[in-house]
Amino acid sequence: MKHRVLLTMSVAALAFCGPAVAAGTATAAAGTATGTAGAATVRHAAAGHRYCVAVAARPGQAAPSMSCYRTFAASIRAATRGRVRLPASAKPGSVTPDQINAADVTPATVYVLSIDFANAGYGGSSLTWTQSSKCGAFLASSMPSGWNDVISSVQASSGCATTLFWNINFGSPTYPIAKNGAASSLGVFNDEASSQSWCTAEPCGS
């Protein structure tokens, strides 16, 4: 069955943090990315747009926690380890396929598999999926916290195809997207994806 993830924050945390996000919530890897990106890292921001990065799992592995950033530019810079640097004011969806896919010709230590967007037309909050090698069999048996039933558009990259699943654990129906393809709107699949997988040619399985 599908499940919806609700984000909660205690009153005490709100009183302590005010408008800022509590320190020490990011993982060590996210902290490194923050230093590179030059923008504060946010863990599971409760309100407003969130620009997040997560590592897709290999079969048999659990996906690590995601890290979120205050700007889309910072999230893309972190996701590409500084290879792609957008203007600080860059809007979601402004990164081009050529910029992302340049990892195929430029030595890279991380690859962007796809970017999921909360709004149609590649807008709103974003979830950038990465891996340390070029496209292979990667998966997310459930979406990260706050991202269940949220996705409304997708851009695939780095030689990957991707498939969205209506239910967690790769339950059907499915929405496949071709290698390096994109979907500016998911139609009846808008706000319905609960798991996702990546492969070299659609459709991707579990």
pLDDT at 31: 34
Q: Give the residue, 165 or 103, on which the prediction is more confident.
A: 165
What would the two tokens of residue 130 be?
């990465």
> What pLDDT digit, counting tens, does each position of 135-192 carry?
889 999 999 999 999 999 999 999 999 999 999 999 999 999 999 999 999 999 999 9
Burial of 10 (0-12, 13-18, 19+ CB in 10 A): exposed
pLDDT at 49: 60
pLDDT at 17: 36
Closest CA to 8 of 47, 60, 36: 47
pLDDT at 65: 78
> Domains in the chain and their CATH numbers?
44-199 (2.60.20.10)
> What pLDDT digit, counting tens, does each position of 9-51 carry?
333 333 333 333 333 333 333 333 333 333 433 434 434 569 9
Q: Place 60 in a pLDDT band, splitting at 50, 70 and 90.
A: confident
Name the pTM for this structure.
Answer: 0.77
Whole-Å CA distances, 39 to 48, 73, 117, 191? 16, 9, 20, 28
Asked which of 37-41, 88-92, 99-103, 169-173 is least confident by mean pLDDT, the reply is: 37-41
pLDDT over 90 percentage in the chain? 61
pLDDT at 63: 72
